Amino acid sequence: MSTATTARAAGTVPASRESADEAPDRVPGGKPCGWTDGLPVYRWGQAPAYLRTQTQLGEDRLKLADGQAVVAYIRTRKYGDFPLYDPAAAVKMRPLSSAVKRRMEAARTCSECGKVRKHVLNGRSCSQCWEKAQRARQRERARTCWGCGTVRERPYPVAHHRCQDCRRAQLAEERAEKAESLRWAITCPGRDCSVQTASKAEVRRWKAAADAIYRPWSRRWCPPCEEREARERAEAEERAAAAREAEREARRRRVLELREWAAAALADEDLVVLDTETTGLDAEACVVEIAVISGAGDVLVDTLVNPGRPIPAGASEIHGITDEAVAGAPSFGQILVGLTAALDGRRCLIWNSPYDEGVLRWELTRHYRAAGHEDPAASAAAWLDGMTLEDAMVPYSDWYGDWNDYFGNYQWQPLGGGHRALGDVRAVLDRLREMAAPVASSVD
């Protein structure tokens, strides 16, 4: 019988080993789990021990030879398959210089024991020294009182880690807490009441019960406190109900006032509504379209306006007005006379008036500056002061009644006019008619 057969029969040679005379480090630990390009792929720890990855070759100061072939692969769960090489076919690297060796040794030298370790420490202590220091800290903590911090030679009791004085103080504090907890449990919960409504034995039996963790102790009321509590609770509910009724009544009055305001605005023969479309929402936004209609719906002004600058694409996406559309339109200064005639002496409603007033102020300032006024801003302010401009968005939002808890006021409502000046001013009249209708908005 051959040596291989004898060794295999004795169970000392793996089944994958072809010969008992083969070097042990060249025998795989198991069968390949797969094949890649005709090469075996081993699981972790199953490849022949003599094979090395490229990183392991570098640790042995070896590098791959030109065109060196892969011998096998090692499979890892996280990083995939790594190629394995035969170190005998690799090329030796150039020896390290003494300075490099010193730097490498310094990087692997423990700052505590001064020994050179296999891994890089960079001035830190090695794991052995760290574990030694950790055990020393644990021993010192065991000899330190958790109350006063006194350190003694032998460890304190594990149960409390305190010296006698601190332990006595701890026990006294625990007894006081238990006594206070017991006193609280047997005392009536009424305000400034010290009547005992339960016995200590009842509380102790409850604490000893299995369901004490899940069902808290319900403190009992004495009859006078219970009557007073019920009376005060009923009075508080009455006050809350009265407050809610007063709030609803105030809301009804406010809705009625806004309804009358809208009806009066619609009945005003001098009512006009204005809206603008602009190049944006910034402080220097320019008008690209403006419309003014009367309360009866007659169109007084409806024109595109050349802003004298490119219209941003974002603004064009909203209102649909492009540079080509306003190329032949008049400037703001050219429509100012007609706009002044349409607004002068009339009550003008604007949806979100502060914004449109800011736009008009900027356009007026630009116009008066180009006209050579000494103080363009003052001239623009004088023009606006001569007009009666009034907001319609906030009254409608207050009438609609969509309260916003975060901002503490009523949520602003969308106009729904299509983001064109003429459609928006007509939508404002629709909102006024909605407010003036007999059916009011939500009151509660």
35-93 per-position pLDDT tens digit: 999 999 999 989 999 999 999 999 889 999 999 999 999 999 888 999 999 999 999 99
Rg (CA), the chain: 45
Mean per-residue pLDDT, 263-271: 93
SS3 at position 273 = strand
Q: What are the two backbone dihedrals, phi and then psi, of residue 91, each rounded to the nearest 5 degrees? A: -110, 140
pLDDT for position 84: 95
Least-confidence region, from 5-9, 15-19, 322-326: 5-9
- Tokens 């021990």 belong to which residue? 49
Model pLDDT for residues 230-252, shown as the tens digit of each residue: 999 999 999 999 999 999 999 99
pLDDT band per the 50, 70, 90 thresholds, residue 439: low
Q: How confident is the model at residue 261 (pLDDT cuts 50, 70, 90)?
A: very high
User: Three-state DSSP class for 84?
Assistant: strand
**Percentage of the chain exceeding pLDDT 70:** 93
CA distance 261 to 295: 14
Token readout for 393 is: 């968005």
Structure tokens at 330: 């008049």
* Cβ neighbours around 392 below 10 Å, total: 23
Does 5 have pLDDT greater than 50?
no
Cα 132 to Cα 130: distance, rounded to the nearest angstrom: 5
pLDDT at 175: 95
Look at the domain 253-436 and name its fold.
Answer: Nucleotidyltransferase; domain 5 (3.30.420)
Against a cut of 0.85, is the pTM above it? no
409-438: per-residue pLDDT in tens?
999 999 988 889 999 999 999 999 999 987
Query: Quick one: pLDDT band at residue 2, thresholds 50, 70, 90?
Result: very low
Banded model confidence at residue 20, pLDDT cuts 50, 70, 90: very low
Tell me if residue 70 falls in helix, strand or coil.
Answer: coil
Q: Is 182 left (phi over 0), alpha (psi -120 to 50) or beta?
A: alpha
Q: Quick one: tokens of 353?
A: 């008036």
Name the pairing type of β-strands 347-350 and 388-391. parallel
At residue 344, the pLDDT reads 92
- Token pair listed for 431: 């909102």
pLDDT band at residue 21 under the 50/70/90 scheme: low
- Of the candidates 183, 178, 181, the residue with the CA atom closest to the CA atom of residue 194: 183
Long-range contacts of 8-13 (CB under 8 A, 24+ apart): none
- Asked whether 351 and 392 are in contact (CB, 8 A), the reply is yes
Q: Which helix (H) or strand (E) holds 246?
A: helix 223-267
Distance in angstroms (rounded) separating the CA atoms of residues 265 and 156 = 87
**What integer pLDDT is reported at residue 1 of this predicted model?**
37
* Positive or negative: CA dihedral 20, 25, 26, 30: positive
Locate tokens 């960079």: which residue?
122
Are residues 353 and 391 in contact, defined by beta-carbon separation less than 8 angstroms?
A: yes
Instruction: Give the residue range(s) of CATH 3.30.420.10 domains in the chain.
Output: 253-436
**Alpha carbon distance 13, 49 (integer Å):** 15
Residues 6+ away with beta carbon under 8 Å from 199 = 186
How far from each other are the two terminal CA atoms of the chain, in whole angstroms? 103
Report the pLDDT value the prediction gives residue 24, as an integer from 0 to 100. Answer: 85
DSSP secondary structure, 305-361, as one string: ---SSPPPHHHHHHH---TTTTTTSPPHHHHHHHHHHHHTTSEEEETTHHHHHHHHH
Residue 126 has pLDDT above 90, yes or no: yes
For residue 154, name the pLDDT band (cuts at 50, 70, 90): very high
Contact by Cβ (8 Å): 35, 41: yes
SS3 category, 112 = coil
Identify whether the C-beta of residue 425 lies closer than 8 Å to the C-beta of residue 273: yes
| Strand pairing class (388-391; 287-294) | unpaired
Q: Would you call 294 helix, strand, or coil by DSSP?
A: strand
Average pLDDT (17-40) is 80
Per-residue pLDDT tens for 325-383?
999 999 999 999 999 999 999 999 999 999 999 999 999 999 999 989 999 999 999 99
pLDDT in tens, 383-415: 999 999 999 999 999 999 999 999 889 999 999
Q: What is the pLDDT of residue 209?
A: 82
The whole-number pLDDT of residue 132 equals 95
pLDDT greater than 60 at residue 16: no
pLDDT the model gives residue 6: 37
Q: How many CA atoms lie within 13 A of 373 on its CB side?
A: 15
Contacts of residue 254, Cβ cutoff 8 Å, sequence gap at least 6: 398
Supply the mean pLDDT for the chain.
Answer: 89
What are the Cα distances from residue 351, in Å, to 117, 137, 338, 412? 78, 73, 21, 11
Q: Is residue 11 over pLDDT 50?
A: no
What tokens does 46 get?
């199953």
CA distance 206 to 211: 8
Task: Give me the sign of the Cα torsion angle 326, 329, 334, 340.
Answer: negative
Please work out, in degrees rounded to the nearest 5, the angle formed at the alpha carbon of residue 272 by the alpha carbons of 262 and 323: 125
Closest to 438 in 3D by CA, of 260, 246, 249, 251: 260
